[in-house]
């Protein structure tokens, strides 16, 4: 069949003098109406023309035939006019059926078969699929780095008890809080292949396990975004899937940090919103208006200002929090995560931190894979694959035993202590070292995070 050219669909019988309910003339009591529900409201509508014939073979009344075509063409014209039909409570929907919320361009996808009479906010039967106003953001425009938590530069399980910020996946990290003897472990956890709780089939999720509570400042899971200018004086939406070891309420907020060096403005904390995490995966979506930067001052240290999203644990309580599919974006609607490329996220992550260790290997471990060879009695320059955000903190490690500040000779022994001739955003140069057995093998870690 050839392609059909789009033509205007008129409503049949829209000017007919009267429309009659299917089969009602046969009963002797014709029911006239222009309401589509009434016109198709009799059993005769579903039995077809047989249920509408009069005295044997006589065709149905003209007004009933007009009604049939009017119902059909009205719904057809509605569909062509509306584009995507709006939700209707008496229509049964099936998996992947798509409807539009009445009066909006918000789309919802049915999660179940025989989905009848369930309101769109019923998350068992319906899933928000996006807002057509923000269609261009549906496949990207994510401010986060490594939203699927695949890239762990310092090992896949890190514990901290100092009350200082520390990192798990690139720019997603935590803080165990202060007061008492708090302790937090960040780790990369694997999803079961084929799970259906979290969409897009992510490989990993982020876990923050607060094993000892804080009593003064709240512990946090947080993600940092380069530049305090990010969507300043605009609407920002954070969305992610989350669950907890025990149901509890968490404060979610944004913080504008103006950097370090000189006399930067103090942090601006955007009012928190409560996110209730349960023991089951659920989508958390919160929208914030970030303040203007008018009258603020940045620090003098290079690219040190940034935006922070923080999820705060309650005080005096331990818990496990799991997070997946993190997205922070412009606007007031959470759009889909889209396609996340591991290679592209790895490239972007190297602006903030880079290592020769394999992804997931602990920094300072004994690991000869990917280590770097150089002659011991010469300068050695290594150019970073991506320009760093700022001059990094740089350390070298003996690849044979993991000792910091040394290279390994051919026998695995430490060389003399490493010193640097140069360390900048583009490269570093190691000075010559002395080596008992010859050669200088090492791993490096260059860290320019906040």
Q: What's 414-430 look like in SS3?
A: ECCCCCEEEECCCEEEE
**The token pair that represents 373 in the structure block:** 């060879």
Q: pLDDT tens digits, the chain, 450 residues: what are they?
A: 676 676 777 888 889 889 999 888 888 899 999 998 999 999 888 888 777 777 666 677 788 887 788 888 888 888 888 899 999 999 999 999 999 999 999 999 999 999 999 999 999 999 998 888 766 545 558 999 999 999 999 999 999 999 999 999 999 999 999 999 999 999 999 999 999 999 999 999 999 999 999 999 999 999 999 999 999 999 999 999 999 999 999 999 999 999 999 999 999 999 999 999 999 999 999 999 999 999 999 999 999 999 999 999 999 999 999 999 999 999 888 887 888 899 999 999 999 999 999 988 899 999 999 999 999 999 999 999 999 999 999 999 999 999 999 999 999 999 999 999 999 999 999 999 999 999 999 999 999 999
Question: Which part of the chain is CATH 2.60.40?
Answer: 350-450
Q: What integer pLDDT is reported at residue 334 of this predicted model?
A: 87
Taking the C-alpha atoms of residue 340 and residue 437, their distance in angstroms, rounded to an integer, is 45
Q: How far apart are CA 406 and CA 446, in angstroms?
A: 15
Q: Quote the DSSP letter at residue 51.
A: G
Handedness of CA 44, 45, 48, 54 (dihedral sign): positive
Residue whose tokens read 């509605």? 78
Give pLDDT, residue 136: 53
Q: Burial level of 304, CB count in 10 A (0-12/13-18/19+)?
A: buried
Integer Cα distance of 313 and 183 in angstroms: 12
Q: What is the secondary structure of 114-151 as a DSSP string?
A: SB-S--TT-TTTEEEEEEGGGGGGTT-----S-TT---
Q: Cα dihedral sign for 224, 148, 236, 136?
A: positive
Distance CA 129, CA 96 (A): 10
What is the SS3 string spanning 248-288? EEEEEEEEEECCCCCCCCCCEECCCEEEEECCCCEEEEEEE
What length is written for the chain? Answer: 450
pLDDT of residue 353: 97
Q: DSSP code of 408?
A: B
The architecture of the domain spanning 157-346 is: Sandwich (2.60)
Rounded to whole angstroms, how far apart are CA atoms 314 and 217? 9
The label of the residue with tokens 């002395």 reads 434
| pTM (whole model) above 0.85 | no
Residues of the chain within CATH 2.60.120.260 domain(s) are 157-346
Q: Which two tokens stand for residue 64?
A: 């009933």
pLDDT at position 78: 87
Which of 153, 189, 158 lies closest to 357, judged by CA? 153
CA pair distance 322, 438, nearest whole angstrom: 47
Decide if 219 contacts 314 (C-beta within 8 A).
Answer: no
Beta-carbon contacts of 285 under 8 Å, excluding residues fewer than 6 positions away, are 237, 238, 239, 334
The arrangement of strands across the sheet holding 183-190 comes to 157-160, 183-190, 204-212, 319-330, 235-244, 282-289
How many Cα atoms within 13 Å fall on the side-chain side of residue 363? 18
Phi (first) and psi of residue 344, to 5 degrees: -70, -40
362-382 burial: b if 16+ Cβ within 10 Å, else e: bbbebbeeebbebebeeebeb
Q: What is residue 381's three-state secondary structure?
A: strand
Q: Quick one: pLDDT at residue 276?
A: 98
CATH architecture of the domain with range 350-450: Sandwich (2.60)
**C-alpha 101, offset from chain centre:** 23
User: Of all residues in the chain, what percent are helix, strand and coil, respectively (each to 5)?
Assistant: 10, 35, 55
Closest CA to 360 of 121, 222, 158: 158
User: If you search the block for the tokens 């990290």, which residue do you land on?
Assistant: 173
């Amino acid at each position: 069949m050839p392609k059909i050219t789009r033509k205007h669909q008129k409503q049949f019988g829209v000017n007919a003098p009267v429309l009659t309910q299917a089969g009602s003339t046969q009963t002797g009591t014709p029911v006239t109406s222009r309401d589509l529900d009434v016109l198709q409201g009799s059993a005769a509508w579903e039995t077809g023309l047989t249920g509408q014939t009069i005295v044997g073979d006589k065709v149905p009344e003209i007004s009933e035939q007009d009604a049939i075509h009017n119902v059909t063409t009205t719904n057809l014209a509605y569909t062509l006019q509306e584009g995507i039909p709006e939700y209707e409570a008496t229509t049964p929907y099936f998996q992947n059926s798509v409807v539009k919320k009445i009066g909006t361009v918000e789309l919802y996808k049915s999660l179940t078969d025989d989905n009848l009479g369930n309101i769109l906010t019923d998350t068992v039967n319906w899933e928000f699929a996006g807002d057509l106003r923000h269609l261009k953001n549906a496949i990207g425009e994510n401010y986060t780095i490594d939203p699927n938590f695949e890239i762990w530069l310092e090992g896949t399980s890190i514990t901290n008890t100092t009350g200082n910020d520390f990192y798990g996946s690139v720019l997603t990290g935590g803080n165990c809080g202060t007061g008492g003897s708090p302790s937090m472990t960040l780790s990369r956890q694997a999803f079961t292949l084929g799970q259906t709780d979290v969409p897009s089939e992510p490989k990993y999720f982020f876990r923050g396990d607060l094993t000892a509570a804080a009593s003064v400042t709240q512990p946090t899971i947080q993600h940092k975004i380069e530049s305090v200018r990010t969507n300043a004086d605009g609407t920002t939406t954070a969305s992610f899937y989350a669950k907890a070891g025990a149901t509890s309420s968490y404060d979610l907020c944004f913080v504008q940090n103006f950097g370090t060096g000189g006399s930067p403005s103090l942090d601006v904390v955007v009012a928190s919103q409560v996110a209730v995490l349960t023991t089951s995966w659920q989508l958390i979506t919160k929208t914030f208006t970030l303040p203007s930067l008018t009258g603020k001052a940045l620090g003098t240290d290079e690219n040190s200002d940034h935006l922070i999203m923080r999820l705060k644990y309650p005080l005096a309580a331990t818990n496990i929090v799991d997070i997946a599919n993190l997205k922070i974006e412009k606007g007031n609607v959470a759009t889909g995560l889209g396609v996340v490329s591991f290679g592209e996220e790895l490239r972007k992550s190297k602006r903030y931190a880079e290592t020769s260790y394999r992804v997931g290997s602990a920094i300072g471990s004994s690991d000869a894979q990917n280590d770097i060879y150089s002659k011991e009695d010469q300068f050695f320059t290594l150019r970073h694959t991506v320009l760093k955000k700022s001059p990094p903190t740089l350390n070298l490690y003996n690849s044979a035993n993991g000792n910091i500040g040394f290279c390994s000779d051919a026998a695995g022994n430490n060389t003399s202590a490493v010193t640097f001739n140069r360390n900048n955003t583009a490269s570093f140069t190691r000075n010559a070292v002395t080596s008992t057995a010859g050669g200088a093998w090492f791993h490096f870690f260059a860290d320019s995070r906040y």
